[in-house]
Structure 1
Amino acid sequence: MESTEVESDILRRVRTLLRELDGHHPACQCDRGMLRWTLHKKIDQNPSNSSVVVRILVKELERAERGDFRHYIIPLLHTLMYTLIKAPCISDELCDRVYDFCKKLLTLPKPFCTIGLDYATRLKMERTAPGTLYQRMVISEQSLKSDPYPYQEKIFIFADPELLSEAICNALVTDTEAAQASQSPRACMCYVISHAMQAALGEGCDLGGLKGRLQDMPTSEVERWFQQVVVAVESAGGEGTTDRGQHTARLQEIHRALLSSSPAGNAPLQGLQDTPLPNPNISFHLWTEDDQLWKELVLFIRPLSQSCEPDCLSQDLDNFEIQDIISDCDCCEQTRFSVLSTDSGIERDLPTAAEEPFAPCSADTEHSRLHRKGGIKKKPSPLESMALLQPGCHSPGGKPPVKLQRRSGIPPDAAAPLQRLHTARIVLLGDDRILGRLAQAYHSLRKRETRRVFLTPRLNLQFYYIPVVAGQPNTLAVEDHTAPGHEELCEVAGYLGRADPWYESNINTLCHVIPKLATMPPSPSKHLVTDLFITDVIAYYVRMGIQPVCFQVYAVKIFFNDPAQEPAEDVFLTELCTQGQDSTSHRELSMTKKKTTLDGPGIDLTVAYKKVVVSNREKELDMSVRSTGLVMKAIPSEEAEDLACLNVTITEIVRINHLSGRSFSAVANRLKTQNIKIRSTEQRPFMVCLDKDSRRTYRNVISLEVSPCPEPSYCLQKTRTMKFNLHQTEDVGLVKYMPKSLLLPINTFAGVMQ
């Protein structure tokens, strides 16, 4: 009877979750996002319910497929897979049903087939070696040393202190620190051992005795047993054809050996017990420097050695710059491709015999004759050594020995391909303004990587976005009446929510939940990791959000009223807004008043743009208008619209003649384009604001040009190709297969559902 009540309660929770997706839940506004969290917490409290939850979710998935409720499928599938990963043991029959359902999704369009293929691949491995998904997630998220699975992940939370209140930032710091305080590498290794044993042996695993034995062991011995379990699970999961019985026998042998030295007891087996899924490695950062994102990624790829002091690190980070970032391509003015040379050109500075293994026989005498004395050997900083690293070179600060091999007649060996063993998950907290900063940082990072590749072959970069809006008195604004409201500041989040209902339910609800929780008084159970709602939701988002939505980044070139001032180049992601600017000169002010009296408010503009049409044929148009300002929006109001399109609204001033005089009215002139040029014909300046961020406001602007931001690697490759094909106008070779525009991917649970 009790099991029937539990099953009815879980079924009611799942059905309520589905009604929330339809917007029919009566408490949609206050409890949205809590239903999924409470469901998984209920499973954590009683792990034996995991099989019941999986069975109910499979039934609901099959019912959604039969009833053509496709918007239920992805949320139910994510909920099921998260339950399956955390479950102590799932029967083969349930795994087979889930696997068969994922294979059925391959006949559906994207994103169903993409998610179905990914989960089917994981389930196939999980059926052969139970516990593989849990083990790999813990190893990568905690950066545990493991040769069979050497992958590492880290979550970087970035928040702009100018956009969020101090209370919100302090609350997030407290939550992330509390989430990390209760876990250690030793504890995580014990979790992996316990979960692998229970997943393979089921109720035959003496989990109580196993935990007691691991607790009494020294850390070195725990690590030894951890490595044995990882090798056993990875060998079974990697082979694919390994018999399930062989895998169970291997872990049974390890289980017996672990408990062999412990005193025998007559305590009965306690059945399935919970093995916690540790919170991932999270670091919180206040985004105060423009290149802070790049610095953190560099240090994640190559952490500092223990001999490096923190003070030296900070100084190295502040002083280090890559001087030869590309300044060429179609989006830049100069053309310069050079490789940074470490050769000073002085004969006695040539490498010594120890540094040059292929040096001629007379190197010893030459070395003794040119030996320096009294010099100070400077130890290169970690960032300097990383800047000089080339793909395929693994020694810090070392040179690839290609030239030396060629000089001695030895053919160069092929450089070992690099693997992306690191995954950086960048979580942005804020509104559209912090996404504008991200677009800037991402564009700068791509330019660095184009000139000197370091992060790209080693790092898998993932972006996530959690909208948070909180008013703050010191927030900058151009003028009070131009400050955008909460809805206008979260256009990207609104688009993602319309495109992905599961994102709307779990992530968009945090927009007001996070400020509310930050102002609440601390509860007595605040130190418990299980009560850290925000951290748990972030962990769920980064673990299950695997479908990117790509947003077009736009480049803008700004020309100023002063001819001596160099044009400015910038990028924006969401919006560009222009507004009239008052003249400072008394003469110009009086002339402006007379002009306004005759022609109305605003300034005369010439607009040249390429019209976007259905046939994708370019149609160039020109127009002259008198306008008080314009707004270019890159985020469409409907998810069905094309993302790579600017919706431009020009506030045009129309003069109307009456018998009694003359009046003026404002008319919204709308157009769609990807390339547009705007110029003030009166030489009267105006202001330009990018991504709704008043800190990115340009004054005294006379004209501007907007176009899709080109991908720096495409520009570099095309420029190099054009050097050898001077008369070639079309893309040839590898260039035509490269992305031409810079796209910023933001991960969601489903991407854009058709």
Structure 2
Amino acid sequence: MLRWTLHKKIDQNPRNSSMLVSILVKELERAERGDFRHYIIPLLHTLMYTLIKAPCISDELCGRVYDFCKKLLTLPKPFCTIGLDYAARLKTERAAPGTLYQRMVIAEQSLKSDPYPYQEKIFIFADPELLSEAICNALLTDTEAAQVAQSPRACMCYVIIHAMEAALGEGCDSSGLKASLQALSLSEVEHWFQQVVAAVESAGHEASAARSQHAARLEKIHQAVLSSLQAGNAPLGGLQGTPLPNPNISFHLWTEEEQLWKELVLFIRPAAQSCEPERLSQELDTFAMQDILCGCECCPQPRFSVLSTDSGIERDLPLPAEESLPPCGAEPEHSRLHRKGGMRKKPSPLESVAFLQAGCHGAGLKPPGKPQRRAAPAPGPAALPQRLRTARILLLGDDRVLGRLARAYRSLRKRETRRAFLTPRLNLQFYYIPVVAEQPSTSEQPATGQEELCEVATYLGRADPWYESNINTLCHMIPKLATMPSSPSKHLVTDLFLTDVIAYYARMGTQPVCFQVYAVKLFFNAPAQEPAEDVFLTELRSQAQDSASPRELSLTKKKTALDGPGIDLTVTYRKVVLSDRAKELALALRSTGLLMKAIPADEAEDLLCLNVTITEIIRINNLSGRSFSAVATRLRTQNITIRSTEQRPFTVCLDKDSRRTYRNVISMEVSPCLEPSYCLQKTRTTKLSLHGAEDGGLVKYLPKSLLLPINTFAGVIQ
């Protein structure tokens, strides 16, 4: 709340920005002298956000912050990483004041600008089955209210005025600029916007350019804009400041498994080409696949899955009209093998080749409407596509929605391995705000406490105190805000606290914490049932399952009376040791259930390790008879295999989500989920290698495990 109040004071009274920045600089320097490192990163984030919002900051203050950031380079991570990032930004800001504000608004509002052609968007995903309807409606209302006053014209005017105030200071006629820009047409405003952007970007790239030269360029534009309305003689109004517009935010209820991938594809493709998916699908039916793709240099060797209507058996070919039927003495298989009528599957518009290729801007790309029989040779190697767009995926919910994200992320990585479309063009970043509904959803699983449902958020809060005070506090605040009665003048409120915190988190949270995704393969007691493959991020819980048939139930009761409750299991695992040497161990025990935790209870523990707790049943013989006691057996491993020796089934629940419960399981294998690109390259290297080396070629340079990065403000502070 103090951070939010400070930034709102700058919006209300921009003239106090220099004084507030100087106070923050003194606090930073005092924290350095007193060796209070846990204060440095929160103060530095607050200071940089203030510098971006402030209309005019002296070069002397920026220089003090720049020198402080350079001192952080001698400290370990994450201090040196954040210091290097902010030092590079401040160097550009000192050469061309207003650059950070201008770039942020251009990217977040997707304004057309050739000198800085970057775009960013925040996608909020909420699972409607985990959050109440009131919470979803409140979030949707706040995000829609934040987008009301954000027109491209207004944002371009903000950039022009802020650049003038940052460069000219008190010499800028802010009121006159606003009046002049309001009187201009949209094309004229866009013209002056392009002029200001070009001037600021050129000064930022020129290392030898003086600050006075940059101010002289903007002074000419300043006078030209004022003279267009003959408002140059108006009295100077001083610094008035310009608001920092809210980023482009879209709210989505996560109802489909492939919804994440579809939204990213729609974000990558130009809006003008994505409005007619039916026409693109019809073009697929008209033209051949190879004619559409023969000139595309950015997608070499494409492979597509097509539902064939031909079995490939020569006997299945239709007989010509003049050919007579075979005699009775022919092969009997010929009469049995025949082809039935097939159905051609119409691809989805998002899956169509023309839909995806419309987003490619590589050299040599042909329009799908002009097919050619032969592709002309390309004039030269096409440039690789740049990552000009950034998608910030913000998840709202508890650990269950993160488990669903891990599943969708693995599916996306597998899709990109087969055909890279998003990866070369998109920066993908993940954010997480814990939200637990007060009324838990009805399910078979018993109600779980809020602390247990937010293990990832608890770990991130311990690792990053600034995440704890800014983001984890929203876990209880968002449900309260959703249940508060709406004010009759709510549409007049411009300071949306929740939207502001989300924007601050997305803008300043740049340090990822990577979580290991684990793959599990399940085998069932029915021989006809295929094994199932899934992933989990936080935990796997298994319990003994009651037998279905009465006979098995009676046998189970007799055996339980003799051997105790639970089922007999064989556990084979690879023990985690400090020397990092593989040590295979095997256990045979009787258990009622087990729990695998992937999130450690302490941030000092290894994050890439499973803590397995098995409830073992111990039989005790004494004079009074036979008794049983439950003992917790704890293991630390990364690879583990569990089998039911007597073929009795058990249930498996992933990521505390009752919707992801598997029944009738008799065996399971758990291991770190491999990166799909690593698996593909390893397969190719093994086939081409003469000696069968597994880690040869490019395999040793690729990441082996699939890690899910979640952004925080500081990462893990040791």
Shorter-chain TM-score above 0.5:
yes
CA distance in 2, matches of 1:708, 1:398: 46
CA distance in 1, matches of 2:440, 2:613: 30
Whether contact under 8 Å (1:548, 1:746) holds in the other structure is: yes
In the other structure, the counterpart of 2:58 is: 91
In the other structure, the counterpart of 2:177 is: 210
Residue 388 of structure 1 and its aligned partner are, at CA, apart by 5.7
Pair 1:719 & 2:675 matched = no
Residues 420-499 of structure 1 aligned to structure 2 (within 5 Å)? 420-472=387-439, 474-478=441-445, 480=446, 483-499=447-463
Quick one: which amino acid aligns to residue 656 of structure 2?
Answer: K
Residue 38 of structure 1 and its aligned partner are, at CA, apart by 1.4
Quick one: which amino acid aligns to residue 634 of structure 1?
Answer: A
Quick one: which amino acid aligns to residue 560 of structure 1?
Answer: F
1:403-426 CA-to-partner distances (Å, cap 9, x unmatched) read: 845xxxx67621211100110000
CA distance in 2, matches of 1:616, 1:509: 38
Residue 88 of structure 1 and its aligned partner are, at CA, apart by 0.2
1:498-527 CA-to-partner distances (Å, cap 9, x unmatched) read: 000000000000000000000001124422
Q: Secondary structure at the match of 1:417?
A: coil
Distance 1:381 1:310, change over 3 A: closer
CA distance in 2, matches of 1:665, 1:146: 71
In the other structure, the counterpart of 1:552 is: 516
In the other structure, the counterpart of 2:120 is: 153
Residue 274 of structure 1 and its aligned partner are, at CA, apart by 1.9
In the other structure, the counterpart of 2:211 is: 244
Residue 476 of structure 1 and its aligned partner are, at CA, apart by 2.4
Pair 1:121 & 2:85 matched = no
Quick one: which amino acid aligns to residue 742 of structure 1?
Answer: L
Quick one: which amino acid aligns to residue 153 of structure 2?
Answer: R
CA distance in 1, matches of 2:348, 2:482: 44
Aligned residues: 664
Residues 217-296 of structure 1 aligned to structure 2 (within 5 Å)? 217-264=184-231, 267-296=234-263
Q: Secondary structure at the match of 1:288?
A: coil
1:182-220 CA-to-partner distances (Å, cap 9, x unmatched) read: 110000000000000000000100000000000111111
CA distance in 1, matches of 2:66, 2:660: 50
CA distance in 2, matches of 1:169, 1:312: 34
Distance 1:126 1:165, change over 3 A: same
CA distance in 2, matches of 1:523, 1:404: 64
CA distance in 2, matches of 1:728, 1:260: 75
In the other structure, the counterpart of 1:679 is: 643
1:389-442 CA-to-partner distances (Å, cap 9, x unmatched) read: 88946556599999845xxxx676212111001100000000000000000000
In the other structure, the counterpart of 1:626 is: 590
In the other structure, the counterpart of 1:375 is: none
In the other structure, the counterpart of 2:265 is: 298
Following TM superposition, the consecutive aligned residue runs of length 4 or more in structure 1 with deviations greater than 6 angstroms are 310-316, 398-403
Residues 601-620 of structure 1 aligned to structure 2 (within 5 Å)? 601-620=565-584
CA distance in 1, matches of 2:258, 2:271: 18
CA distance in 1, matches of 2:51, 2:86: 11
Residue 54 of structure 1 and its aligned partner are, at CA, apart by 1.1
In the other structure, the counterpart of 1:584 is: 548
Pair 1:573 & 2:537 matched = yes
CA distance in 2, matches of 1:524, 1:55: 40
- Unaligned 5+ runs, structure 2: 284-288, 290-300, 309-345
Judge which range, 456-465 or 44-53, deviates more: 44-53
Distance 1:72 1:661, change over 3 A: same
In the other structure, the counterpart of 1:706 is: 670
1:146-186 CA-to-partner distances (Å, cap 9, x unmatched) read: 00001000000000000000000000000000000111000
CA distance in 1, matches of 2:683, 2:73: 41
Q: Secondary structure at the match of 1:665?
A: strand
In the other structure, the counterpart of 1:66 is: 33
Whether contact under 8 Å (1:674, 1:707) holds in the other structure is: yes
CA distance in 2, matches of 1:675, 1:428: 29
CA distance in 2, matches of 1:398, 1:446: 31
Whether contact under 8 Å (1:386, 1:454) holds in the other structure is: no
CA distance in 2, matches of 1:313, 1:79: 47
Residues 656-695 of structure 1 aligned to structure 2 (within 5 Å)? 656-695=620-659
Q: Secondary structure at the match of 2:144?
A: helix
Pair 1:543 & 2:507 matched = yes
1:559-616 CA-to-partner distances (Å, cap 9, x unmatched) read: 0010110000001100000011111111110111111111111111100000000110
Distance 1:745 1:400, change over 3 A: farther
CA distance in 2, matches of 1:391, 1:205: 41
1:670-710 CA-to-partner distances (Å, cap 9, x unmatched) read: 01000000011111000000000000000000000000000
Distance 1:679 1:306, change over 3 A: closer
Residue 35 of structure 1 and its aligned partner are, at CA, apart by 1.8
1:246-282 CA-to-partner distances (Å, cap 9, x unmatched) read: 1111000000111113234755322221200000000
1:51-107 CA-to-partner distances (Å, cap 9, x unmatched) read: 111111111111111111101000000000000000000000000000000000000
Residue 735 of structure 1 and its aligned partner are, at CA, apart by 1.0
Whether contact under 8 Å (2:686, 2:694) holds in the other structure is: no
Whether contact under 8 Å (1:386, 1:397) holds in the other structure is: no
Whether contact under 8 Å (1:425, 1:542) holds in the other structure is: yes
Whether contact under 8 Å (1:43, 1:50) holds in the other structure is: yes
Whether contact under 8 Å (1:685, 1:699) holds in the other structure is: yes
Quick one: which amino acid aligns to residue 160 of structure 2?
Answer: I
Residue 661 of structure 1 and its aligned partner are, at CA, apart by 1.0
Whether contact under 8 Å (2:269, 2:356) holds in the other structure is: no
Whether contact under 8 Å (2:277, 2:349) holds in the other structure is: no
Quick one: which amino acid aligns to residue 635 of structure 2?
Answer: L
- Unaligned 5+ runs, structure 1: 1-33, 317-321, 323-336, 345-377
User: Which of residues 594, 598, 601 in structure 2 aligns to 1:637?
Assistant: 601
Q: Secondary structure at the match of 1:557?
A: strand
Residues 162-177 of structure 1 aligned to structure 2 (within 5 Å)? 162-177=129-144
User: Which of residues 681, 693, 709 in structure 2 aligns to 1:745?
Assistant: 709
Distance 1:573 1:721, change over 3 A: same
TM-score (norm 1): 0.84
In the other structure, the counterpart of 2:338 is: none
The percentage of aligned residue pairs carrying the same residue is: 79
RMSD (CA atoms): 2.6
Whether contact under 8 Å (2:125, 2:396) holds in the other structure is: yes
Distance 1:499 1:142, change over 3 A: same
In the other structure, the counterpart of 1:504 is: 468
Quick one: which amino acid aligns to residue 69 of structure 1?
Answer: F
Pair 1:193 & 2:157 matched = no
In the other structure, the counterpart of 1:144 is: 111
Residue 625 of structure 1 and its aligned partner are, at CA, apart by 1.1
Whether contact under 8 Å (1:601, 1:628) holds in the other structure is: yes
CA distance in 2, matches of 1:96, 1:596: 76
Whether contact under 8 Å (1:525, 1:531) holds in the other structure is: no
Distance 1:544 1:194, change over 3 A: same
In the other structure, the counterpart of 2:497 is: 533
